[in-house]
């Protein structure tokens, strides 16, 4: 994800409809990508998250800083 963030200079949408679980490594990657996007003045949006992923994003407060749709 970070390599993609470095190579793209536009907003990034991540479709997680096929993701059933996210661990601390995945959370860390999202945070790193969010920071990179923020430095570029761009957005990171998570799309199509199931209830479990939404709960994890909410419990880690990532839903407060990331776009979650």
Please list the alpha-helical segments (H only) found in the chain. Answer: 2-7, 24-39, 51-59, 62-65
DSSP H or E segment with residue 44: strand 44-47
CA distance 2 to 36: 8
Segment 3-58, tens digit of pLDDT: 777 778 899 999 999 999 999 999 999 999 999 999 999 999 999 999 999 999 99
């Amino acid at each position: 994800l970070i390599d993609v963030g470095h190579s793209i200079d536009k907003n990034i949408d991540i479709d997680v409809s096929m993701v059933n679980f996210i661990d601390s490594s995945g959370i860390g990657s999202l945070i790193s990508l969010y920071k990179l996007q923020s430095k570029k003045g761009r957005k990171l949006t998570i799309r199509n998250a199931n209830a479990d992923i939404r709960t994890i994003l909410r419990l880690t407060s990532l839903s407060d800083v990331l776009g979650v749709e």
